[in-house]
Structure 1
Amino acid sequence: MSFKRFFFQMSAAWLAAVFSCAAYAEADALVRESLALVEQGKAQQAFDQLATAEASRAGDPDFDTVLGIAANDTGQFTRAVFALERVLTVQPGNSRARAELGRALFSLGDNQAARQVLQETKRDDIPPEAARKIDEFLQAIDRNEEAARSSIRGYLEGSIGSDSNINSGPGNANVAVPSLGGLVLTLSPTSVKLKDSFYSVGAGVSGRFVIDPRLSLIASASGNYRFNNDYNDFDTNQFDISAGASYKVGKDEYTAAAQIGTFSADNRGVRDQRGVVGEWTHRPDAASQWTSYLQLSTLRYPGQSLRDAERYVLGTSYARAFRAGLLAFGGVYAGTENERAANVPHLGHRLAGLRAGLQQTVNADVDVFGNAGYEERRYGGADPLFLVTRRDKQTSLNLGLTWVPFVNWRVTPQWSLLRTDSNIAISDFSKRVFSVTVRRDF
């Protein structure tokens, strides 16, 4: 959670409570207009017009409070500290100014001072919702401090749900095969769309060993088992391990890691993956983040070596927190999956896709979310059975909410839709999944 998103979640009651002093009621037109601009998301315009008057107005608590808020929203954190400390000298009970000072101190890297200021704010007579938000943010400060020192974290989760197509099979059992003169073949019952309910269990652990404030060693491991109620031949499990290093420089963080993963169905290995990933994260301000990555992987299919491939994917994404607890993100990626065997170009493909999503805070305990994706895959040669070069267009949609009933517990009901339009009949399918996941973080 960013400070900017945190303060955007403050209710009208919070604003009324912390600006209830008589002096604010008599604030002049410049202060009222600037506060209105900040609340409209025009903080830069507010800051510019306040900054020109700072020399003559410094010391006026109403002026300095709004100047501090605008300075925080535009990333002028040092200016915010000076203005807000002037406010608290005159109005030590101004809770909004104290909370904004905590925001500025945190953004400048002074976690200890930020915690002290926010704890003092919580002791004020502020609305209950604001107090809960401060509790959440104090926990976020703890997590940020923990990220700066060696730590180990883990989780356990369980899910139940229903899947309309557990084997990603086509809906029609009768398929015409051009290489056989258009002969219509009937697929086996387990090769067409199968519906089933399921449950799954998963666990993971991650660790960070801090060598110095910039350099850390990182590692993680996770696993998931999924069990179908009726069609146990399609039970799956997946394990992933990664290890690498992270290096921070100012607003940038660089990460490189080796990755190992395995996917099995009916307790038989289906795919093994080995590779490396490099990632660059840039945080231009407290409310936004760019992430770019390059992933290089080797794919092995036990018992089906003809499908072995080398996969390369390059992508970038952007996320930003807006007013009233709204978080938006979007990204694009492209790559290739090159077949290792000779004379099977129909098994390799080029891929490109995009993803976008929104998350909205409803209250202190509930977020709703939605995300969508699109991926297009173009294969390298004609399929020997269907005599056409395969083209897939895959669309996905996920809708759900996250409820936090207790600290470190999350309950996530979710509905997902996946649709793959393909010119190869046996690769054309759709599926709908509804699930509820309960997770405990440690």
Structure 2
Amino acid sequence: MSVPTWSRHVRRLAVLPFLVAAPGSFLHADEVVGQAHALLQQGDARRAFEVLDAQEAARAGDPAFDAAMGRAAHAAGQYSRAVLAWERVVAAQPGNTEAQWELGRALHAVGDKQGANAVSERVRAAGIPVDAALSIDQFLVSYDRLGHQGRSTWKGHVELTVGRDTNANAGPDLNAPALSPPGTPAWSLAPGAEAQRASYAAVLGNIRGRHVLDSRWSLIGAATGEVRGYSDAGKPYDSAQLDASAGVAYRVERHEWMLSAQGATYRLDGDTLRNIGGVLGEWIYRLDGFRQWDTFLQVQDLRYPTQSLRNARRTVGGTSYVHILRNGSLYYAGLYAGQETPHASDVDNLGHHLAGLRAGVQWAITADWAAFVHLNHERRRYGAADPFFGVTRRDRQTYGVLGVSWLPAPGWRITPQWAITRNASTLPITDYDRRVFSVTVRREF
């Protein structure tokens, strides 16, 4: 039997203070809603959804019921049903910011980034506390590429980083000669070639966008520039880098294919050290708004203006899996492999095969604080013996980062982190350790 109109109005007025004053707590108007709430508390989201699903046809339009339905549907992975339920709550109670927040999560889960962004803007306009609005922004930024529907989008950010580097030139330590392989000719490090400690400051800017052509095709592009300056002994390693890419994307259902042309230039101490040109192909498969696979193949041409023997073709392919949890935490894991082949003949010692693994976890401590760990291990096997040392180079490089992320206000992010690199190499001049502590302030727009 349907609920009388006057009764619905009474329930709306009665439940609103509870929704605004204590997000997540809803007035259980009857036994059905109370039963579903108890099942959710017990962790049985599927059963809670089934209990409410049986009553939805008769109860849809009652904010207390719809709120319970939206929460149960989301917990059970029925994201499209959660969207419908929360839309009914927002329609009945436009000022209910908690319901808008939940609608934003549900829209993101089904891949409607445009709709989720619009909800986020309304929530901020309604004066929702900063931490709750930021939890939406953090959630959406994680899957920035999902902006494939509706209007074209352009985003960017600028960063200022200051830090201390124990090995700015990735050089061996002073004991390196003691590590010489048997039979190695007498040698010594050139002055300043050993590990150099230095402080540094860096400024980075990025802009990226997607121009929508129709429901499936779009143009994509990005550009990043960074300038880094060191103190004291690190001055010769001042650098500047510019990367840019442009291409097309095609999306159908859960699949998206992207093909981009890439270009980059890297300058060291005022001179061009390396130029790169190539193509990148990607296939992204999204299970839902929380999980995705990303498989790629990248082919690049590396050119060294002052060291032409190092010119090479680099080909790398791999895949990774990303999973965002409902509390905003995330984890990812991936693997990749490839090779770097010199253009010149008789320099196989400069080319190598590579394979690597990477993984990471980010824990959402609060709405605006998170801790993260990233790990990367890569092995490189070179094609021939080094002409000086007489041994074939093998590298085992491990890179780890531990840090925290703080969002003090919308659009701002402060990230202190500790990064450690260990490259175990059969050549003493490429065997090194490096530790970098840095603090980055980022402004997104």
Where structure 2 has 5 or more consecutive residues not aligned to the other structure, the ranges are 1-18
2:208 corresponds to which residue? 206
The 1:177–1:144 alpha-carbon spacing in structure 2 relative to 1, beyond 3 Å, is: closer
The 1:360–1:183 alpha-carbon spacing in structure 2 relative to 1, beyond 3 Å, is: same
1:184 corresponds to which residue? 186
2:230 corresponds to which residue? 228
Aligned-residue sequence identity (percent) comes to 43
Paired residues for 1:257-276 under 5 Å: 257-276=260-279
Equivalent-residue separation in structure 1 for 2:107 and 2:256 (angstroms): 21
2:5 corresponds to which residue? none
Give the secondary-structure state (helix, strand or coil) at the position aligned to 1:190. coil
**8 Å contact kept, 1:65–1:83:** yes
Confirm or deny that 1:338 pairs with 2:341.
Answer: yes
TM-score when scaled to structure 2?
Answer: 0.81
Amino acid at match of 1:80: A
Confirm or deny that 1:166 pairs with 2:182.
Answer: no
Q: In structure 2, which of residues 270, 277, 280 is the aligned counterpart of residue 277 of structure 1?
A: 280
Amino acid at match of 2:78: Q
Give the secondary-structure state (helix, strand or coil) at the position aligned to 2:232. coil
Q: In structure 2, which of residues 148, 151, 162 is the aligned counterpart of residue 149 of structure 1?
A: 151
Q: In structure 2, which of residues 269, 291, 294 is the aligned counterpart of residue 291 of structure 1?
A: 294
Paired residues for 1:412-423 under 5 Å: 412-423=415-426
1:129-181 deviations in whole A, cap 9, x for unaligned?
546656878999999779742344333322111100011111125257669x4
Paired residues for 1:82-161 under 5 Å: 100-101=102-103, 103-104=105-106, 107=110, 109=112, 115=118, 119=122, 130=132, 133=135, 148-161=150-163
Confirm or deny that 1:248 pairs with 2:251.
Answer: yes
2:362 corresponds to which residue? 359
Equivalent-residue separation in structure 2 for 1:137 and 1:228 (angstroms): 35
Confirm or deny that 1:237 pairs with 2:243.
Answer: no
The 1:112–1:235 alpha-carbon spacing in structure 2 relative to 1, beyond 3 Å, is: closer
Equivalent-residue separation in structure 2 for 1:427 and 1:194 (angstroms): 14
**8 Å contact kept, 2:26–2:68:** no
Q: In structure 2, which of residues 395, 403, 416 is the aligned counterpart of residue 400 of structure 1?
A: 403
Where structure 1 has 5 or more consecutive residues not aligned to the other structure, the ranges are 1-12
The offset of 1:28, in angstroms, is: 7.5
**8 Å contact kept, 2:80–2:106:** yes
**8 Å contact kept, 1:358–1:370:** yes
The 1:170–1:272 alpha-carbon spacing in structure 2 relative to 1, beyond 3 Å, is: same
The 1:14–1:344 alpha-carbon spacing in structure 2 relative to 1, beyond 3 Å, is: farther
Confirm or deny that 1:219 pairs with 2:221.
Answer: yes
The offset of 1:14, in angstroms, is: 8.5
Equivalent-residue separation in structure 2 for 1:163 and 1:284 (angstroms): 40
Q: In structure 1, which of residues 35, 42, 45 is the aligned counterpart of residue 40 of structure 2?
A: 35
Equivalent-residue separation in structure 2 for 1:182 and 1:434 (angstroms): 36
Amino acid at match of 2:425: S
Give the secondary-structure state (helix, strand or coil) at the position aligned to 1:169. coil
The offset of 1:91, in angstroms, is: 9.6
1:85-130 deviations in whole A, cap 9, x for unaligned?
7878999998766654554456374956995699589969x98854
Paired residues for 1:375-394 under 5 Å: 375-394=378-397
Equivalent-residue separation in structure 2 for 1:216 and 1:271 (angstroms): 31
2:439 corresponds to which residue? 436
1:10 corresponds to which residue? none
Amino acid at match of 2:342: E
Give the secondary-structure state (helix, strand or coil) at the position aligned to 1:285. coil
The 1:169–1:105 alpha-carbon spacing in structure 2 relative to 1, beyond 3 Å, is: closer
2:199 corresponds to which residue? 197
Confirm or deny that 1:325 pairs with 2:309.
Answer: no
**8 Å contact kept, 1:68–1:97:** no
TM-score when scaled to structure 1?
Answer: 0.81
Q: In structure 1, which of residues 68, 71, 78 is the aligned counterpart of residue 70 of structure 2?
A: 68
Of residues 242-251 and 167-176 in structure 1, the stretch that sits farther from structure 2 once superposed is 167-176
CA RMSD of aligned residues (A): 3.9
2:14 corresponds to which residue? none
Confirm or deny that 1:80 pairs with 2:82.
Answer: yes
The offset of 1:32, in angstroms, is: 4.2
Amino acid at match of 1:436: V
Amino acid at match of 2:365: V
